[in-house]
Structure 1
Amino acid sequence: MAPEKLLGEHKYEIKCEVYSFGMLLWEMAELKIPYEDEIDPLRIFYKITKEQCREKFSNGGVPQEWKDLVKATWNQNPNYRPSFTDIFNIIQELSEQNFNLLDVNANQTDEFHSQESDDEVDDMSVEEAINEYNKSNGNKLKAWECFVMHAKIGDFTAKYWMAHFLHYNILDWPESEREIHEKQATQLFKEAADGDIVEAQLIYGDCMFNGMGASKDTIKAIEYYKMAADSDNPDAMYKVGNIYYHGDGVKKDLEIGEQFLKLAAYNQQKQAIDICKKYGIKL
């Protein structure tokens, strides 16, 4: 049962079934009962809900794509679990690669990954990777590897953070890779933005407005700024207002400009407040 149902925090929804289906995929690969070493139901409850403990893979023959998929279905936050469409697409791709669980189980071993760091990344959620990145002495490489793993299976937050790493060159990649990384970042920001990640909508708007990683497109920039503004992002409100008020790349429209600048100012956006004062826009 999904942790949110065990805690009684959420009503039943399809993402609860995604969690359970992920457990079934683990059982198929391992030929084991989950948490079979625990005899105390309360201890299992605590491990799942509080410690966020998940079963590991001991079968070295299981493809990494299968493991990544299972890990994603077990995300503590149901919003970050993949859809059944994504799940079945990945399973279909594995099937087309002639992957057969029967063959894997016939040669099953009890060996774990040879590198402990691989296990740590496998077990890390997107939220944990964000926390790792934000630590003053955090392992940013490990966080990056986690974001890459979750982005592969469609996690929009992971895609946003991959883009963040690329855009800001967090891992100090060579300058010669800068241009291609900027293009990759812009595409990832777009995918995350289309997945309703507000920060990505704002930054993708910047990419379009400034021509970073793609051709300059002010209309497209406004479209994504407005998406973020609709989610109450004051910086996005300011950017839309500023563009229309000054006619920067679009036909000047003082009415729309003032409307968005006021909204931003009401939300304590400093640049919007300064412009309203400068041009006598009454708040």
Structure 2
Amino acid sequence: MEMKVTKIFHRDIRAENILITLNETAKLANFKLIRSQPGGQAICFPNLNLDQTRYCAPELLEGVLNYKYEQRCGEVYSFGILLWEIAEERIPHQGINGIRDIIDKVCNKKYREPFSENSQMPEKFKQLEIEAVHHDPDFRPKITKIFEVLNNCLKEYSQVTSSSSGPNLRGNSRNNSMQKSRPNRAENIDAYALPDLESFKYMTLADAEKQHKLYNNHDKLVGDVITAYKCFEAYANLGNTGGTANRNQIKAKYYKAYYISKELIEDPTNKDEIVAELF
């Protein structure tokens, strides 16, 4: 989210550059190709290797001159390919070892890797991946929609797994076999420990930080401080789940305390105690 707001592009999103922490949190790595381009200025790519080509958007593979690199251009397309790889557990364009062959399939033939017939991924997940790798970047979803769909998929999955021990599923051999085939590590994911993005309109932390600084010509506060506070509160509370607070959580706690101390929102009854704890 922060990379989106500040116009910072990773430009090399692929499985090799995604690290998983001990707390099963995905982290981006390898920032050799990262660029900051205000206003979506044109970006010239260096020569891509075979692995990078597998995840590269068609408009970049075609080498369109002066193409403005926006988030839906390369980042969303690469993430869509990554979603397919996670679902299928296969390397995209596996068996093709020529860069020109991949470019021909993706750009000229508009080929996209299909989901297998026995795929158990939710339909909304598969549709999201299809939209993310659309040939025209203008038809690809925004990153906020991607977060929304994936969050909903996780919540629905958690509801299914939590009800799997109920009497309606015990006698259903097909459901039981599907349940057993799912990775055990996913059972430990608590979807409701994630921030409720919808409650604060998918506002990013970077956007939330600006709201209390927005005034009109009459020095009247016009920023959406209420939504911003909900954003800060949601991210600040992530630290209460027992994990190590990351940079976003620390920042959110600071602004939550700041909003309370500056009376930008309605004072809670235990105002001093909350501020002291957060600061």
TM-score exceeds 0.5: no
Larger Rg: 1
More helix by share: 1
TM-score normalised per structure 1: 0.35
| Larger relative contact order (CA 8 Å, sep ≥ 6) | 2
